[in-house]
Amino acid sequence: MLVVEDEWLIASSIADDLQAAGYDVAGPVGTVRQAAELIEAEGIDAALLDIHLSGETSFGIADVLVSRDIPFAFSSGFSKHVIPPEHQHRTLLPKPLDTRLLLCEVAQMTDGQGQER
């Protein structure tokens, strides 16, 4: 599970929650470049993308994930209207993230694989 989030405390919290639920976490990373490098280097099965990353958006990463048929969701404090039309159907988890919603969405994206039972 790739975590793309530029706020370190939030990223660390997400990674901790996912690891505690039994998921392997790639990252977290805070830039588009770092995310692209991890996608190339590792077998990513799903991703959580913060929309705004230090002056950039994660929509290019979303496009790469779509091209590789890798499921993902967005997270943001902004509303869904900032998401381009081609990604409007993707889940948007509002910030601050609710751990239960996060884990539910990740379970759906990964069919529960990697999750402790």
114: left (phi over 0), alpha (psi -120 to 50) or beta: left
Give the pLDDT of residue 114. 59
Question: Within 10 A of 68 (CB to CB), how many other CB atoms are there?
Answer: 9
- How many residues comprise the chain? 117
Give the pLDDT of residue 56. 95
CATH topology of domain 2-110: Rossmann fold (3.40.50)
Q: Tell me how many degrees the CA angle 104-109-112 measures, rounded to the nearest 5.
A: 65
| Residue-range domain boundaries for the chain | 2-110
Cα 7–chain centre separation: 13
Give the pLDDT mean for 95-108. 96
Instruction: With a cut of 50, say whether residue 116 has pLDDT above it.
Output: no
